Chain A
Amino acid sequence: QQQVKQSPQSLIVQKGGISIINCAYENTAFDYFPWYQQFPGKGPALLIAIRPDVSEKKEGRFTISFNKSAKQFSLHIMDSQPGDSATYFCAAKISQGGADGLTFGKGTHLIIQP
């Protein structure tokens, strides 16, 4: 059973456009929702994260929107640039107790066309 579902699997966006990646989770105990960016041959790197007490968080061109009632969250990349081309993973975890690791979505391969 996959606890974090991510879509789309791949996405092509023109330079300057908005990239949108969506995730849905099942476990209501999740209380930390990060997004990771991975370039080929590199490990995932934390991009931005949100906790369920806020509905939106913005850092530069990257925004997370969070809908607790729908158990969904999304990443918006404004003014997408070719350097943003990478694989993006949403993730979730339970902050306190139990297994401490992240549960990842299956990833979105994003290509920004010049």
Chain B
Amino acid sequence: DTAVSQTPKYLVTQMGNDKSIKCEQNLGHDTMYWYKQDSKKFLKIMFSYNNKELIINETVPNRFSPKSPDKAHLNLHINSLELGDSAVYFCASSQGQGRYGYTFGSGTRLTVV
């Protein structure tokens, strides 16, 4: 009964490839997010999305794009992967602008070689 699930858990790919990470939440939350955790464990928000609005962190390259087929899913597409994209990517969800907290998935470790 995983609340926020991400697939795959590990992803190794070559530079220049295009890849996707999937995320699903079964909590009925209205907002989903993608966070990036770098090698120093710093967590930084990439996207915030509900069924009305997508908010993009201005520092995120446009090679990254979220796709939400429905309220329970927010997938992350990455084009033309670069070495610097190697990181752990976390999906998260919240309800009511996070006043009850955020629930994170267990992460996808992306390694670009």
Do the two shown chains form a genuine complex with each other?
Answer: yes
A46-B101 contact given A41-B106, A100-B94, CB 8 Å threshold: yes
Interface residues on A, range: 20 to 34
The CA of A103 and the CA of B35, in the complex, are separated in Å by 10
Closest to A106 in B: B42
Give the residues in chain A near B31, CB-CB below 8 Å: 100
A99 x B55 contact (CB < 8 A): yes
Interface residues on B, range: 20 to 34
Q: How many A-B residue pairs have CB under 8 A?
A: 65
The CA of A34 and the CA of B57, in the complex, are separated in Å by 21
A-B contacts, 30 of them at CB < 8 A, read A32-B98, A34-B101, A34-B102, A38-B41, A42-B106, A42-B107, A43-B104, A43-B107, A44-B43, A46-B102, A46-B103, A93-B98, A99-B45, A99-B48, A99-B55, A100-B50, A100-B94, A100-B97, A101-B35, A101-B48, A101-B55, A101-B57, A102-B98, A102-B102, A104-B43, A104-B44, A106-B40, A107-B41, A107-B42, A107-B43
Residues of B18-77 at the interface with A, using a CB-CB cut-off of 8 Å, are: 31, 33, 35, 40-45, 48, 50, 55, 57
Binding site for A on B (CB under 8 A): 4, 31, 33, 35, 40-45, 48, 50, 55, 57, 90, 92, 94, 97-99, 101-107
